[in-house]
Structure formats: C-alpha cells, structure tokens
Amino acid sequence: MRRLDRVETTRAERWLLHAYWLLSGYGLRASRALAWLLLAVCVTVVLMLGLGLPDKSPSQTVTGDLPPSGGKVTLEVDTPDPVLTLPVADRFTLERFEKTLRIVLNSVIFRSSGQDLTTWGTYTEMISRFTEPVFLGLAVLAVRGRIKRG
C-alpha cells in the first residue's frame, strides 16, 4: 500500500514500487521477470545485429623493414577500430545471428564477451550487462519466495 500512499511515500519510492510490480509482480511472478529478461535479450540481439557487430573481425597486420645489418627489430601490432559498413539487408543473416547470440548470452550470463564491437555495440553490451541480470535476479527471488512458501 506504500505505492498508493501519497503523503509519506516519496515520488521516487512510488516509482520504484511501480517498477517492481511491473517487472516481477512484487517478486511473486517469476514468469513476468523471465518474460522481461527474454524481451531484453531479444532487443539486445536485434541491436547488436543491426548496429553492434562489425563487418568482419579485424585482422592483425604487421609491416616493417628489417635492417640489413641484422640488428634488433621491434614490432608493434595495432588493430583498427571495428567498422560496420554492410547494407542493412546484409546485417541480418543466420551467421551473424549465431555470432551475436553467443556474444549476448556471454555478456549477460557470464562475463564480457571480449569481442570487437562497434561503438554502438559496446554501449549496447554495457547496458545489457546491467539490466538483464536484474531481471534474472528478480526471477530468482520470485522462485525462492515461491519455494519458501510451498
């Protein structure tokens, strides 16, 4: 009832309680939290396919001259920034989908994917690494509450 109390409850607390109800039914509905998680993963996959995955993985190229006297050689390897120049129709292929799905699931459930991503892809991964574990946590709390009551 705190979310309906407009006298003692601040606007921020009411907003947080409304969000908690919307996302997981006050921690009672694991299916709602899992549905939000599935939706967030799908949105992340679409964003990564459309904006985050570069055309191809950058290859490391080393160029240089060897001194004729056989002296010391120092090589510096620099990878170029990943670029996305594919037409929109070519971005949504099965091969790119499979790679994107691996990247998204790795970053959401386990750790950062470590893939070369475009700037948009990097920000998309950062946002998904924050939001999607929240949905997973809400689902776990709802299941835990259901088990403790049962």
- Residue range 26-36: mean pLDDT, rounded: 82
Contact 120, 51 (CB under 8 A): yes
Tell me which residue range forms the domain holding 134: 11-55+84-149
Whole-number pLDDT of residue 43: 92
Is 60 contained in some domain? Answer: no
In whole numbers, what is the pLDDT of the chain averaged over residues? Answer: 79
- Residue range 51-60: mean pLDDT, rounded: 75
Whole-number pLDDT of residue 1: 46
Whole-number pLDDT of residue 24: 80
Is 6 contained in some domain? Answer: no
Is 41 contained in some domain? Answer: yes
The winner for highest mean pLDDT among 42-46, 54-58, 112-116, 138-142 is 42-46
133, 96, 142: which is closest to 118 by C-alpha? 96
- Kindly report whether the global pTM for this prediction surpasses the value 0.75: no
Is 99 contained in some domain? Answer: yes
135, 118, 130, 125: which is closest to 104 by C-alpha? 125
Which carries the bigger pLDDT value, residue 75 or residue 87?
Answer: 87
Contact 102, 112 (CB under 8 A): no
Is 101 contained in some domain? Answer: yes
Question: Two tokens at 112?
Answer: 């950062």
Question: Over the stretch 111-125, which tens digit does the pLDDT of each residue have?
Answer: 666 677 888 888 888
Question: Over the stretch 86-117, which tens digit does the pLDDT of each residue have?
Answer: 888 888 889 889 888 888 877 766 666 667 78
